[in-house]
Amino acid sequence: MNPLDAYWMPFTMNRAFKAAPRMISRARGHYYTTDDGRELLDGFSGLWTSGLGHCHPKIVAAVQGQVAELDYAMSFQVGHPKVFELANRLTAMAPAGFTQCFFTNSGSEAADTALKIALAYHRACGEGQRTRLIGRERGYHGVNFGGMSVGGIPANRKVFSAALLPGVDHIRHTHSLPDMAFSRGQPSWGAHLADDLERLCALHDGSNIAALIVEPVAGSTGILVPPIGYLQRLRELCDRHGILLIFDEVITAFGRVGAPFAAERFGVTPDIITTAKGITNGVMPMGAVLVRDAIYQALMQRPAHTVELFHGYTYSGHPLAAAAALSTLEVYAEEHTFATARALEPAFEEALHALRDAPHVVDIRNFGLMGGVELAPRAGAPGARGYEVFLKCFEAGVVIRNGGDVLQFSPFLNATPDELAQIFTTVRQALATTA
Ligand SMILES: Cc1ncc(COP(=O)(O)O)c(C=O)c1O
């Protein structure tokens, strides 16, 4: 029996992996070490998670100290100081008007929590008919039933089609190769695509819609950057129809787009923001849902002896995650990480777009330190070319990610020019030898 058999790996080709494993046994700074002692440059910052690099000494020390002091405290009706401190820090970083923070253990749970808060809010406001949830084609909001239903990645939905939430609709996605291929940063074409929300408001009547959830920059589907003016237009339409706007910032928060939140970078303030990943630099599982004050206050009108929101997790605000998050936020501030990331953007954009003349490349897109290189699919085998490039880069000492035929890049927020050069030279060589 293969000793790897028992572990059913997530979003992985299990049989292919177990036949030829890629095993990481250590990580430090910008490098992984494989079980056979090879050093790999991490070109994906974990899984969009670890922008500061791996095993940051300050975060490691914070978690080690915490586990010896308070390993766990009951999370319902009992609290511990660090999670309150963390909520204060996060709301202070958030756009004005955000006063509340609800903790989860993942981005998927954050998405479902946000949707539930939206439904509870409308009901508390006497608008219980607002039950419809709107997502966007190609969106990714995790794998739980709520996030999967508002999500728009066909492969993630297909098998579960009959079990998806009822009353969910999707606006169209923002991608159009003929109109925006090789845009640098935000495409100038496409703001009008936001008006698709009007179509759904006309169809269902806007007064029945609770919330619209979008990623400000769509990540998992292969880096779709919002056209100039698009997010502003979504905000206007949500305001017009009384719909809550949720930004899923699981990837974009904490420096990935050179700011604490994409909301700040784009100058568009949603009503709810979901986060995870970079909140602890990937060190502990944690998600956080940031909520505007008016939403919280609406839910606080019930008698004081009642639970206001019947929702929560055993591990909401876990002490180890809270300690990791607090020290992560401190490091972001001390090392000026968001400004460093912002300053790296031009070099990243140059290096990424230099692949334009490489074989198979049909589009390149970027925003902040998120980059996508779309390859023409191999005839009859979509995704095979992207996977092959991923494998070749791994063999050559650089970890990137492929989502189908889109190569994805998420360098460290403090990556060096040499590291960027190594990543893109390796990708170019892999493309050159891929049929
Ligand atoms: C935008 C977005 N939302 C939600 C999720 C789900 O997060 P998790 O895998 O932590 O459940 C992800 C994960 O990549 C994501 O990118």
Q: Give per-residue pLDDT as tens, 50-74.
A: 999 999 999 999 999 999 999 999 9
Q: How far is the CA of 373 from the centre of ligand 1 (A)?
A: 20
Distance (Å, whole) CA 260 – CA 258: 7
Mean pLDDT in residue range 168-183: 98
Contact 262, 342 (CB under 8 A): no
Q: Note the pLDDT of residue 69.
A: 98
pLDDT band at 1 (very low <50, low <70, confident <90, very high): confident
pLDDT > 70 fraction of the chain, expressed in percent and rounded = 100
pLDDT band at 288 (very low <50, low <70, confident <90, very high): very high
Counting ligand 1 atoms within 8 A of each CB, the residue from 48, 156, 251 with the most, and so the one to mutate, is: 251
Q: Domain spanning 61-334 has what CATH number?
A: 3.40.640.10
Q: Note the pLDDT of residue 52.
A: 98
| Torsion angles phi and psi, residue 47, rounded to 5 | -125, 65
Place of tokens 């050069």: 421
The minimum-distance atom of ligand 1 relative to the CA of 215 is 1
The minimum-distance atom of ligand 1 relative to the CA of 219 is 16
| Joined tokens for residue 332 | 């972001």
Q: Which fold has domain 14-55+336-432?
A: Aspartate Aminotransferase, domain 1 (3.90.1150)
Burial class (CB in 10 A: 0-12, 13-18, 19+), 109: buried
Counting ligand 1 atoms within 8 A of each CB, the residue from 45, 277, 286, 367 with the most, and so the one to mutate, is: 277
Q: Note the pLDDT of residue 259.
A: 98
Q: How far is the CA of 286 from the centre of ligand 1 (A)?
A: 11
Q: Give helix then strand counts, H and E, for the chain.
A: 16, 15
Mean pLDDT in residue range 239-261: 98
Distance (Å, whole) CA 183 – CA 257: 17
Q: Note the pLDDT of residue 50.
A: 98
The minimum-distance atom of ligand 1 relative to the CA of 144 is 11
Q: Note the pLDDT of residue 65.
A: 98
**Residue range 193-241, pLDDT digits in tens:** 999 999 999 999 999 999 999 999 999 999 999 999 999 999 999 999 9
Instruction: Give the count of alpha carbons within 13 A of 184, CB side only.
Output: 12
First vs last C-alpha separation in the chain = 35
Distance (Å, whole) CA 8 – CA 4: 9
Distance from the Cα of residue 332 to its chain's centroid: 18
| Joined tokens for residue 55 | 């095993």
Mean pLDDT in residue range 113-124: 98
Q: How far is the CA of 135 from the centre of ligand 1 (A)?
A: 14
Distance (Å, whole) CA 382 – CA 101: 41
Q: How far is the CA of 401 from the centre of ligand 1 (A)?
A: 15
Which residues belong to CATH 3.40.640.10 in the chain? 61-334
Pocket of ligand 1 (CB under 6 A): 106-108, 111, 140-142, 215, 219-220, 248, 250-251, 276
Distance (Å, whole) CA 73 – CA 305: 22
Q: How far is the CA of 433 from the centre of ligand 1 (A)?
A: 32
The minimum-distance atom of ligand 1 relative to the CA of 139 is 1
Which residues belong to CATH 3.90.1150.10 in the chain? 14-55+336-432
Distance (Å, whole) CA 78 – CA 377: 53
Q: How far is the CA of 48 from the centre of ligand 1 (A)?
A: 9
Helix (H, G, I), strand (E, B) or coil at 270: coil
The minimum-distance atom of ligand 1 relative to the CA of 276 is 10
Q: Note the pLDDT of residue 111.
A: 98
Q: List strand residue ranges (DSSP E) for 216-340, in order.
A: 244-248, 272-275, 287-292
The minimum-distance atom of ligand 1 relative to the CA of 274 is 3
**Residue range 299-345, pLDDT digits in tens:** 999 899 999 999 999 999 999 999 999 999 999 999 999 999 999 99
